[in-house]
């Protein structure tokens, strides 16, 4: 079943991105600290991570659809032979 990536928290997305070996999902951002100073930190790029995960899902669906189509063609050929 499909996951709803947009409902995941940043931490869940970060873990899922690491688990699936996605690259470039963290980006450097300028943040304001508690003492009102500017600092740099790394934040997750949600849009990029979700796009990569959706592309991966679509590749997996296409791959298995092709496998099923080939198996169907093989079965059809054997059915016509006998």
pTM for this entry? 0.59
Predicted local distance difference test score (pLDDT) of residue 9: 92
pLDDT band at 23 (very low <50, low <70, confident <90, very high): confident
Q: Is the pLDDT of residue 27 over 80?
A: no
Q: Give the chain as a DSSP string.
A: ----GGGS-HHHHHHHHHHTT-SS-EEEEEEE-TTS-EEEEEEE-HHHHHHHHHHHHHHHHHHHHHHHHHHHHHHHHHHHH-
Predicted local distance difference test score (pLDDT) of residue 71: 93
Q: Is the pLDDT of residue 26 over 80?
A: no
CA atoms of 20 and 3, how far apart (whole Å): 14
What is the tens place of the pLDDT at every residue in 31-66? Answer: 777 777 777 777 888 888 889 888 888 888 888 888
pLDDT band at 2 (very low <50, low <70, confident <90, very high): low
């Amino acid at each position: 079943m499909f996951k709803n990536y947009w409902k995941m928290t940043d931490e869940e997305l970060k873990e899922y991105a690491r688990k699936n070996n996605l690259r470039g999902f963290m980006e450097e951002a300028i943040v304001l600290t508690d003492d009102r100073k500017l600092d740099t930190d790394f934040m997750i790029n949600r849009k990029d991570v979700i796009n990569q995960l959706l592309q991966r899902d679509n590749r997996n669906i296409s791959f298995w659809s092709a496998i099923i189509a080939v198996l169907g063609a093989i079965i059809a050929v054997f059915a016509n032979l006998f």
